[in-house]
Every structure is written in C-alpha cells, then in structure tokens.
Amino acid sequence: MRLVLDPAYLALAYLAAAILFILGLKGLTHPASARRGNLYAVAGMVLAVAATLCNPAVRSYGFIVAGVAIGAAIGIPLALKIRMTAMPQLVAALHSFVGLAATLVAVGTYYAHTAAPDKLLLAEIGIGGVIGAITFTGSLVAFGKLQGLLSGSPVVFKGQHALNLLLAAIMLAVAAAFVLQNRPAWLMVVLAIAFLLGVLLVIPIGGADMPVVVSMLNSYSGWAAAATGFTLQNHLLIITGALVGFSGAILSYIMSKAMNRSIVSIVLGGFGGGDGGAQALDAVAGRGVKTAAVEDAVFVMVNAAKAVIVPGYGMAVAQAQHALKELMEMLSARGVEVKFAIHPVAGRMPGHMNVLLAEADVPYENVVEMDDINPELAAADVVLVVGANDVTNPAAKSDRASPIYGMPILEVYKARHVFFVKRSMSPGYAGIENRLFYQENCSLIFGDAKKVCERMVAELKAA
C-alpha cells in the first residue's frame, strides 16, 4: 500500500519545494548564510522526493528503491572520503551524471511512446537529448583536465571553430528532420554529434579558465534538467532546472567579467597555457630568484602593521587553511592587521578558497574579495602568498604576449614585502611562469604549504 497525493496537494508540495530551493540559493550568496542555505535546499529536496513518490504516475517503487540503494552505496563513501582538493572534479563528474540522465530520459521517453508522438514531444526529446549529451561529454573532459588525466593546456587545431559550427549546423538540420519525420536513426545521429560537440567545446579551454568552465557546465546541467522536466511533464524539475541554469549562467558571467574575458571568448578557445609560459620564462630567467627562510618571513610579519594572506590551490592541496587560521590569530594577537585576499577564480571551482577558509572558521570579516583588497595592497607591509600562481602574476598586466594578459589579478607586487610559499619553480595551472618570483620585493619559501605554515606558527610561539 502506498500514499497517493491529490494533484492539488502535489502541486502545493512542489511549490513549497521550489520556494525552499530559492531560499537555498539566496543563502548561498554569502558565506555567513551558506549553511542555512544548504539546509533549505536539503529540506526542499526531501520534500520534492517525498511528493514525487506520492505522485499517481509512480506505480511501483522497485526500480526507484534499487536505484537509490545503489546510488547511496556509491555516494556516501565517496562523500566521506573526498578531499576538498578533489571537489572541483567531483562537481564536474556529477554534472556529467545529470547530462547522461537527461539523455537517457529523452531516449527512454521516445521509445516508451509506442504510438506516434506529437511533434512538440519530439522537439522536447531532441532538445533534452542534445543539452544532456553536450553536458555529459563536456563534463567528462573537464573532469579529466581537473583530475590530471588530460592535459590542462588548450587543445587547438586549425579550423576548429569552423568544424564546431559545421557540426552544430548538421546537428540542427538532422534534429529538424527527426521532429518532422520521426525516425529513431535521426535521433541517434543528433545525440552522436552532440556527444562529439561536448568534447570539442571543452578541450580548447585552458587551465586558467577551468573555474568558469565548471560554472558553465553547472548551468548546462540545469538546462538539461529543465528539458527533462518538459519531457516528463514535471513542473518542479522545470523550475529547479531553470534555477540552476540561470544561476550558473549568471555566475559564469560574473566570473568571466572578473577575468576581463567574455564567456564567448572562453568557450571558443579560452586562454591559459600554450607558448606564453616559455616566452615569459626566457624573458626573466637571467634575473634570479631570491629565497627566504621561515624565520625571515615571521620576523617581517611580526613587525608589520598590515599583513595580507593570499590563498591558492597550493593551500588546498596541502590542506594548510587551519595552520593559516592559527597564524592569523597569533599575528592579530600581536597587533598585526591580517586579511585574506580572495581572487574570484583562485583554485579550481567558483568559491573554492572561500569554502576552505570557512571550513577553518576564518572570520568572514577577514576575508576580502579582489576588487576591495587591491587598493589596500600598496599599503601592506607584507603579503604571504600560499600557492596562488596565476592570480598573482604581473604578466597579466604587462605582457601582451602572455595567455593571461588582461585578466585582473591580486596586485600583490605592490606590497613592501612578498613571501611566496611554493613547492618548486614549476608553473601554475595555466602553464606559465609567474613573473612575481623575479621581483626585488619577492622571496620564495620552498616546501609543503601546510608544513611551512605550521613552522611559522611554531616560530611565533617560540618568539
């Protein structure tokens, strides 16, 4: 025996779930309310699932229970074991699941209609399948780049854009033929081209653009879910997909503006990686690099009036955020003003550094975004950069040949002293040399970020 909701009550439940999703998104706009936003979203999802299980269209729970059990058996251990450094590639992988689900629903819906479906349904199936297929393979490529299975450098070839345009035109033409003639072979051709386009659209995107790519794929997954909602005639899925699609698109736009790039330029080839790194290295190789000991950095920080810490992916890899929180507290106790400077695309996904610092309970008032902190950097006595390569590279302002030229950066080079914690002289994810290393006011401290920061804390305690 199972509970079946009247359509009116089902609609009310879906409306309540949609409101909770909107409140969840609103909560995620600020770190202080992010946890509350997550709770709203979780409550909305629980309500949505419960209401769907009571939908008169659901006639059996067998496959649903089996699917949930298998998903839980995989997802729960993965969630418990996943490290924050692997979160970007996990997000990309989850986007691929959404895309694949949308594609399978489109195909399944088509074959479930033994009678001739109307042209509107065929159009919905085609749109949902195309968006899902592009999201699926594009997300897999993004996962491969983030995981290091594929090169983070752009993969480009002559005539690439023309090929993409030609494939898109053929796909649209075949999709129109599918809607008009209702031939399953046409649907398979459309999906095959869409799968290929997903790969071709992401492989030319370089490492520096990956946070925007993750955000855009999030938007794609939302539109795939919305298209699936139309196919299944599920209003909540349409609303939820539209929320994700629009929010992902808006975030992508904000991030691309922060990088002084248009979304179109990123999608059509991106930047980050390529020959610019070798050119930059040749240009500065003869200028030398200064190194410093932990004790030197601690001495300067203790005697500073204002210190700024710039976290990057190196901090995430080493899980150094807790040591930096302790370092901040000890310096603050000695009268030093300490702030964390956040670049919008630092790390591998939107908000990566904010999440890590929130995990370490760094006060929100100490975390400052790029546009607000840049005017203060010239007055900073010392800046401690922890594994943030590309977002501190002065080449973005001075070298027109650099792949990252024009991207706004954290202007740490203006500070009186800069100490850069780094494992080696290898370039950042964009594949280019950081010219900051060769400036007179910059000294490098080589080593694991967590161990270096812990040694700084120990040095402060002993002082």
- Length reported for the chain: 463
d(CA 340, CA 328): 9
* CB 377 within 8 Å of CB 331: no
Nearest to 336 by CA among 369, 376, 383, 301: 301
Kindly state the tokens that stand for 418. Answer: 């800069």
Task: Compute the average pLDDT of residues 441-450.
Answer: 92
More confident residue, 196 or 210: 196
pLDDT in tens, 292-334: 999 999 999 999 999 999 998 889 888 899 999 999 999 999 9
Whether 399 is catalytic is no
271-287 mean pLDDT = 43
Q: Are 279 and 432 in contact (CB under 8 A)?
A: no
Handedness of CA 431, 436, 438, 444 (dihedral sign): negative
pLDDT of residue 211: 74
pLDDT number for residue 83: 75
Contacting residues for 40 by C-beta, under 8 A, at least 6 apart: 20, 21, 23, 24, 27
Type of residue at 143: F
Per-residue pLDDT band at 169 (split at 50, 70, 90): very high
pLDDT for 2 equals 67
- Looking from the CA of 32 toward its CB, the CA atoms found within 13 Å total 5
pTM of the model: 0.73
22 has a pLDDT exceeding 80: yes
pLDDT at 73: 93
Binning pLDDT at 50, 70 and 90, where does residue 345 land? confident
Mean per-residue pLDDT over the chain, rounded: 86
**For residue 14, how many C-alpha atoms fall within 13 Å in the half-sphere facing its CB?**
20
Per DSSP bridges, beta strands 382-386 and 306-311 are: parallel
426 contacts 204 by C-beta, under 8 angstroms: no
- Please write the tens of the pLDDT for every residue from 73-92: 988 888 888 776 677 788 88
Predicted pLDDT at 161: 84
Q: Is 158 exposed, middle or buried (0-12, 13-18, 19+ CB in 10 A)?
A: exposed
Model confidence pLDDT, tens digit, residues 219-278 = 988 999 898 888 888 889 999 999 999 988 888 887 777 666 667 766 655 544 444 434
pLDDT digit string, tens, across residues 372-398? 999 999 999 999 999 888 889 998 888
* pLDDT tops 90 at residue 21: yes
Q: Could you tell me if 47 and 20 are in contact, meaning their C-beta atoms sit under 8 angstroms apart? A: yes
The string of DSSP codes covering 3-23 is ----HHHHHHHHHHHHHHHHH
Least confident of 45-54, 205-214, 355-364: 205-214
Q: Does residue 280 have a pLDDT over 50?
A: no
Q: Please give the pLDDT value at position 1.
A: 57
pLDDT tens per residue across span 42-64: 999 999 999 998 888 888 888 88
d(CA 98, CA 107): 14
How many helices and strands (H and E) does the chain possess?
18, 6
What average pLDDT score do residues 424-440 get? Answer: 78
pLDDT at position 284 over 50: no
- Region of residue 233 (left: phi > 0; alpha: psi -120 to 50; beta: else): left
Answer positive or negative: Cα dihedral of 77, 345, 27, 99. Answer: negative
Residue 270 near residue 210, CB atoms below 8 Å = no
- Selecting among 296, 361, 390, 399, the annotated active-site residue is 390
With 0-12 / 13-18 / 19 or more C-beta atoms within 10 angstroms meaning exposed / middle / buried, residue 56 is: exposed
Tell me which range, 20-24, 246-250, 285-289, is most confidently predicted by mean pLDDT: 20-24
Higher pLDDT, 432 or 224: 224
pLDDT at 40: 95
The radius of gyration of the chain's CA atoms, rounded to the nearest angstrom, is 25
Tokens read off for 155: 């993969």
Per-residue pLDDT, 265: 64
